Structure 1
Amino acid sequence: MSLEACAEILRRGDPDRFLAAMSAPVAARARLLPLYAFNVEVARAPWVTEEPLIAEMRLQWWLDVLDEIAEGRPVRSHEVATELAGVLDAEAARALVPLVEARRWDAYREPFADAAAFEAHLAAGAGALMRASARVLGAKDGTAALSDLGFAMGLAGWFRAVPELVARGRQPLPDDRPEAVAELARSGLVRLASARREGVPAQAVPAARAAWRTRAILSRAAAEPGRVLEGGLEDAEIARRAGLLWRALAGRW
């Protein structure tokens, strides 16, 4: 039942990754679902309270889970933590620590210090998750391509979240001038193109497929940066699903 619980958490909390995971072969799906559900749980931990200290405690709980996995100790009973322990090795567990720590930004209202701090935040979050996703599927190389792909995907997802983050009192962009947003989007497209040139390991394709919407979103942001602050980067539902279906049938990402 825990795997089904992970699937439901993912379906509600991250529909895109849910669809991508469900497009994967059954064996790969069983390894991706706990990892993606973990990401959902960590991502929402800072938002269930207005108290930064409580948010820190919730994030520490997940850091403790990763410590238990990394050290080979019994993992606390939890529908996601239990399944996660079955797919992560010690190295992968330690590599996910920055992902949890990056979520501390969500608990506070300070802006990013500069563009470098913003990019480091994306690398620690989406970049680490992409590399971990590939690792649980058995991929041991392709780190540079996976990091670039994770960054680009993370940037696309961040752009989509900007209006809500602003509504919640956050300052999500280091520079929200249209020309700066467009340049940031172009930098994401460069990273995505680099990942495609280098290629990801064959085992990692189901994980890479989670980025199937990235190019379209970043291209819109580059062409019409005002849509980042205003919203409006989303595809039509039929186009969104059709793009994933085509990639799944072709065995591509």
Structure 2
Amino acid sequence: MEIWQQIFSQKIGQMKPGDRWTLKVDYYLQSNDLDPGWKQFLQQHAFARFECSQCWHTWHSAQVNILFHMHLDRKQRQGQVKMKIFRQECKKCLVPKLELPEFSQENVERVLENLMLKIRGKCYREAINPHDLCKIIVEAQTMGPHDSSHCEACRLGICCMKYEAQAPASTFFRPASLLPRIFPAQEEWSEAETGSGRDSGSGRDSGSSCDWRRCCCYSTATIFLVIFLAVLIFVLLYFKTK
């Protein structure tokens, strides 16, 4: 945890040198359970290494979730961040324990850089571009689907891979990855934070799709009408000659 606090202090000091911020671990933190004035950021798809404290089995996961709650007292110019890293269990132990992950310094910096952007957007109400979110680097090989039965975040209904893991393994099987891979940050951004009209762009795309389908329907109906008229004329001419 010390490395998280050191990097956090460096980054927040560079970003807002006039304000004092603290970062603390809170294992009782609950998603969407916020006190008045507090904001939330959930970093998904973080990459980390796990080691079982019982059998010493190690594994890597690219589905680690980190929950942040943050609050800024504007009058006192003091901010607080509470942090919870969700754990995973060893699949080889009969009675496994939830283990905390180990992050590389590079991915710690990337996660905290995303936290800085969220603090600027949610606490200081600055317009933030969602494309500025750092991407998480996958630094080792990962295979197969995410195992929701051994994921703490899945049990709490937080992990976005929970329902994918319940599908057949062949559907979501991933072969061993090449190093390194990159996952985009998955945090949703509100229009107030981004300062951009993203909905208008998606609306145009939806409209274009609907127009295309409407044209196809009209074309199909026209073809059937022409065929029907041709058959009707043929029948009338046939009985008239009789």
User: Normalising TM by the smaller chain, what interval?
Assistant: 0.3 to 0.5
Greater fraction of residues in helix: 1
Task: Give 1 or 2 for the bigger CA radius of gyration.
Answer: 2
Greater fraction of residues in strand: 2
